[in-house]
């Protein structure tokens, strides 16, 4: 149950290797998030992971490959938006609350890894593409389908679906950025965000709207 696809390590040696790789990746994420990819040195990471410099290269081809590894880990975490998929069933406003809740929770959880990767995403075309595909586009497609269906059912006002979806996603991405920037109200009010968001995008600010 939950073992998913990869066969886990069986021998003691294999388990040790896997643990070590994880330790290295976590150390890398921590150091990158703290100092940035370029300021971080392999030695920093090695020390935090408590291995020798050279050991890192038994697991990763080069420094950049650590970044790619972190991206892959993020992708793994993203694998199952199970709750989100479930939420696709219910009431629309409810969906938004749940969806926002799920996403924001995920953001909170993986923030360090995201913070490690994000600056380089803006700089490296390969990373950018990968990030976009796995972090943005997959969700876009899902949301577009959902929203289109709801429009056709008359549960949602007729809107420009693709752009509206982008706006919704922008809120997620933007929130993450504002959090990283250290915005205080967002920090302290994080748990209220889903409700506020749902109100904003479902009910609208117009006081004449239903709600």
Partner DNA sequence: TATGAATGAGGGTTCATTCAT
Partner DNA sequence: TATGAATGAACCCTCATTCAT
> One symbol per residue from 104 to 143: x for binding a copy of itself (CB under 8 A), - otherwise; what is it?
-----------x--xxxxxxx---xx-xx---xx--x---
Q: Is 39 in the site for DNA (CB under 7 A)?
A: yes
Type and span of the H or E element at 147: helix 138-152
59 sits near DNA (criterion: CB under 7 A): yes
Report the nearest approach of DNA to the CB of residue 43 (Å). 6
Of the candidates 109, 105, 78, the residue with the CA atom closest to the CA atom of residue 190: 105
CA distance 27 to 21: 10
Residue 39 is a binding residue for a copy of itself (CB under 8 A): yes
The answer to whether 132 contacts DNA (rule: CB under 7 A) is: no
7-41 residues labelled b (16+ CB within 10 A) or e (exposed): eeeeeeeeeeeeebbeebbbbbbbbbbeeebeebe
- How far apart are CB 90 and a copy of itself at their closest, in Å? 15
How many angstroms separate the first and last alpha carbons of the chain? 42
Stretch that binds a copy of itself, among 2-10, 23-31, 34-42, 46-54 (CB under 8 A): 34-42
190 binds DNA (CB under 7 A): no
Our finding on whether 17 is near DNA (CB under 7 A) is: yes
Tokens of 181: 């920037």
Say whether residue 79 binds DNA (CB under 7 A). no
């Amino acid at each position: 149950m939950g073992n998913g696809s990869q066969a886990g390590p069986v021998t003691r040696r294999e388990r040790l290797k896997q643990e070590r790789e994880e330790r290295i990746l976590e150390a890398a994420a921590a150091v990158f998030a703290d100092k940035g990819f370029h300021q971080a040195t392999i030695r920093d990471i090695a020390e935090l992971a408590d291995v020798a410099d050279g050991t890192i290269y038994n697991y990763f081809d080069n420094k950049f490959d650590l970044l790619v590894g972190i991206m892959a880990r993020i992708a793994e975490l993203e694998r199952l938006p199970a709750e989100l998929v479930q939420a696709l069933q219910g009431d629309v406003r409810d969906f938004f609350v749940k969806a926002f809740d799920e996403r924001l929770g995920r953001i909170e959880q993986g923030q360090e890894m995201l913070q490690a990767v994000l600056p380089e995403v803006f700089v490296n075309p390969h990373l950018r593409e990968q990030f976009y595909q796995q972090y943005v586009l997959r969700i876009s497609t899902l949301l577009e389908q959902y929203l289109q269906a709801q429009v056709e059912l008359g549960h949602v006002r007729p809107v420009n679906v693709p752009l509206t979806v982008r706006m919704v996603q922008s809120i997620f991405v933007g929130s993450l950025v504002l959090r990283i920037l250290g915005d205080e109200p967002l920090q302290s009010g994080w748990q209220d965000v889903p409700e506020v968001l749902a109100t904003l995008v479902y009910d609208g600010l117009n006081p004449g709207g239903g709600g």
